[in-house]
């Protein structure tokens, strides 16, 4: 097998690895974005109801208590997802660098 053939095979493998790592980044980013959207949804006030003023205030207070707990849970999930996303971005950046290095070697012949 010639050097040129080996480099061509390495280029294919490097591109496949890069595509897989980029796919991992997209999946992690999508999960993180979903959590961010759920967190933002908690900021929306509960719908207006035909309740007496005191009952409406109690409903709002109970919702806020529930939403605060949920925000705490989501923030923990979001922290893990952000760490995962950053790690996957780093791995993808290395795969990109490796693919670029192999492309450079192939161009030099």
User: What pLDDT was estimated at residue 48?
Assistant: 66
**For residue 38, how many C-alpha atoms fall within 13 Å in the half-sphere facing its CB?**
16
Position with higher pLDDT, 53 vs 104: 104
> Which pLDDT score, from 0 to 100, does residue 72 have?
97
Nearest to 25 by CA among 74, 77, 81: 81
Query: To the nearest whole percent, how much of the chain has pLDDT over 70?
Result: 98
* Residue with tokens 């949920």, as numbered in its chain: 70
List the one residue out of 41, 29, 31, 12 whose CA is nearest residue 99: 12
Higher pLDDT, 1 or 29: 29
Q: Report whether 106 contacts 7 (CB < 8 A).
A: yes
| CA pair distance 109, 107, nearest whole angstrom | 5
**Is the model more confident about 46 or about 97?**
97
């Amino acid at each position: 097998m010639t050097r040129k053939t080996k480099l061509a095979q390495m280029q294919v493998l490097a591109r496949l690895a890069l595509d897989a790592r980029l796919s991992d980044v997209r999946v992690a980013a999508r999960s993180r974005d979903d959590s961010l959207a759920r967190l933002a949804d908690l900021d929306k006030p509960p719908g207006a109801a035909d309740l007496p003023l005191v009952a409406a205030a109690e409903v709002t207070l109970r919702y806020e208590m529930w939403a605060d707990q949920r925000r705490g849970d989501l923030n923990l999930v979001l922290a893990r997802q952000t760490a995962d996303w950053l790690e996957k971005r780093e791995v993808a950046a290395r795969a990109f660098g490796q693919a670029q290095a192999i492309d450079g070697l192939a161009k030099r012949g």
